[in-house]
């Protein structure tokens, strides 16, 4: 590292070059355009001095990039394009650009983000605020990675702790929602969407991305392709008669099962869904609750947790147990009660009365409490039968 002489082919003469490392540790070689060694030494000292200043005061040398320009020209086209949640990211970015309009990346501080978070608390749900902050954090993560910002001001801002949703629709609520969906004049497809989701448990993006080519009518199965699945793992979902009926009555307009009259895939159905839920007088219901209801219906119908995991596309059986294991335990209690009913058919013949009478006779002959019984637990058994 220093100065050296080299032939400049464009000028056909030897000139001095300088060799040094910049503030990022990258090696730089630069032509001085001069054959003077003293000039080359001075330029090298100047460059090293500049590197030292950039290391000590990096904020002074940051490029003045507008937040909105970075989002529109770099973050969205380079990072967000093609992501499954790209529409949601774009929606959050529009709100963020409005909030930080005219600000450069290096001007946005953690305090500003905290104030923005506080301003959203009056109008937005906590989960929506978390998603907005996560989007902002993702923007700054890329800005730091690409050398456009020094730090991420969102890292120190705490998110809300969201309670896990356990909303499951009972039979009456499912029926009310389906009937209300059929009354949505501006969304004639909504009733079919809801019935199909209650019968398959697909995630919203999976549901809207299903194509006719994914349906195997002969075997009654639906293929959830890897590119639309949450964990990029393809899976098969067996279709019941309700799902197959929906497929039989739907017109084939485009390649997607759920599409408009022009064959374009629906992007969302949140507004029409909430309208139907309101008409059905259902409170605190979101689209994802259809998936939870499917899982609940499966478990309460006796479907094994392993099968539920396969149908719903959970990455591990632990996830299935976490969400539906308590239902399986409740179902097992109901099953054991069925064995009681079956035993009652031959236990009502006086056998229990004879056993109880024998136990009563045995208790009268029992030794004092301080003397241990020859058969442990026999006293408890008699007590139960006599009660």
Helices 241-249 & 190-200 angle (0-180, nearest 10): 150
Lowest mean pLDDT among 13-17, 304-308, 348-352, 377-381: 377-381
Q: What is the pLDDT of residue 113?
A: 96
By CB neighbour count within 10 A (0-12 exposed, 13-18 middle, 19+ buried), where does 380 fall?
exposed
Report the C-alpha gap between 100 and 104 in whole angstroms.
8
Q: What is the pLDDT of residue 122?
A: 85
Dump pLDDT digits (tens) for 62-81. 678 899 999 999 999 998 88
Q: Where are the alpha helices (DSSP H) in 182-316?
A: 190-200, 204-209, 241-249, 270-279, 288-300, 305-312
Q: What is the pLDDT of residue 275?
A: 93
* Residue 153 in this model has a pLDDT that exceeds 50: yes
Q: Output the DSSP codes for 86-107.
A: HHHHHHHHHHHHHHTTT-BGGG
- The closest of 181, 192, 173 to 243, measured between CA atoms, is 192
- Interval 308-324 mean pLDDT: 89
Dump pLDDT digits (tens) for 266-295. 888 989 999 999 999 998 899 999 999 999
Q: What is the pLDDT of residue 339?
A: 61
* Residue 352 in this model has a pLDDT that exceeds 80: no
3-state secondary structure 8-43: ECCCCEEEEEEEEECCCCCEEEEECCCCCHHHHHHH
> Which of the pair, 298 or 9, is modelled with greater confidence?
298
Rounded (5°) CA angle 359-363-366: 135
Dump pLDDT digits (tens) for 78-117. 988 877 778 889 999 999 999 999 999 988 999 999 999 9
Lowest mean pLDDT among 11-25, 46-60, 327-341, 352-366: 352-366
pLDDT band with cut points at 50, 70 and 90 for residue 333: low
pLDDT band with cut points at 50, 70 and 90 for residue 361: low
* pTM for the full predicted model: 0.57
Measured from the Cβ of residue 84, the count of other Cβ atoms closer than 10 Å reads 14
Among 217-221, 228-232, 351-355, top mean pLDDT goes to 217-221
Two tokens, residue 330: 């409740």
* Residue 385 in this model has a pLDDT that exceeds 70: no
CA atoms within 13 A of residue 109's CA, in its CB half-sphere: 5
Cβ pair 20, 28 in contact under 8 A: yes
pLDDT band with cut points at 50, 70 and 90 for residue 353: low
Q: What is the pLDDT of residue 382?
A: 45
With tokens 């990675």, the residue in question is 145
Please state whether beta strands 3-8 and 221-224 pair in parallel, antiparallel, or not at all (unpaired).
unpaired
Dump pLDDT digits (tens) for 127-141. 899 999 999 999 999
Look up residue 214 and give its DSSP letter.
G
pLDDT band with cut points at 50, 70 and 90 for residue 331: low
With tokens 């990039």, the residue in question is 65
Dump pLDDT digits (tens) for 164-186. 778 899 999 999 999 999 998 88
């Amino acid at each position: 590292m220093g100065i050296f002489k080299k032939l400049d082919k464009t000028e056909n003469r030897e000139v001095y070059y300088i060799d040094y490392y910049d503030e990022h540790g990258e090696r730089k070689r630069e032509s001085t355009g001069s054959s003077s060694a003293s000039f080359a030494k001075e330029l090298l000292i100047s460059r090293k001095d500049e590197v030292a200043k950039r290391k000590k005061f990096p904020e002074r040398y940051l490029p003045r990039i507008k937040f909105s320009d970075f989002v529109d020209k770099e973050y969205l086209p380079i990072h967000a394009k093609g992501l499954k949640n790209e529409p949601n990211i774009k929606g959050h970015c529009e709100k963020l650009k409005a909030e930080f309009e005219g600000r450069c990346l290096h001007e946005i501080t953690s305090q500003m983000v905290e104030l923005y978070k506080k301003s959203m608390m009056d109008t937005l749900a906590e989960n929506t605020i978390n998603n907005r902050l996560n989007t902002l954090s993702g923007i700054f993560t890329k800005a730091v990675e690409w050398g456009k910002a020094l730090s991420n001001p969102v890292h120190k801002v705490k998110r809300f702790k969201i309670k896990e949703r356990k909303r499951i629709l009972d039979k009456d609520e499912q029926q009310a929602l389906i009937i209300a969906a059929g009354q949505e004049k501006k969304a004639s497809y909504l009733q079919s969407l809801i019935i199909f989701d209650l019968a398959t448990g697909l995630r919203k993006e999976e549901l809207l991305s299903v194509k006719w080519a994914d349906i195997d009518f002969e075997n009654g199965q639906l293929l959830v392709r890897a590119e639309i699945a949450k964990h990029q793992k393809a899976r098969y979902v067996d279709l019941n008669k309700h799902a197959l009926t929906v497929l039989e009555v739907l017109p084939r307009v485009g390649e997607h099962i759920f599409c408009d009259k022009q064959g374009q895939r629906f992007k969302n159905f949140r507004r029409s869904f909430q309208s139907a839920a309101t008409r059905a007088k259902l409170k605190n219901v979101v689209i994802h609750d259809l998936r939870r209801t499917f899982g609940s219906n499966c478990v309460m119908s006796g479907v094994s947790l392993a099968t539920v995991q396969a149908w719903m596309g959970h990455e591990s059986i632990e996830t299935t147990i976490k969400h539906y294991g308590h239902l399986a335990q409740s179902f097992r209690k109901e099953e054991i009660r069925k064995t009681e009913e079956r035993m009652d058919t031959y236990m009502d013949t006086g056998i229990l009365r004879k056993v109880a009478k024998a136990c009563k006779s045995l208790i009268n002959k029992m030794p004092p409490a301080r003397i241990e019984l020859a058969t442990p637990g026999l006293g408890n058994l008699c007590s139960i039968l006599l009660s």
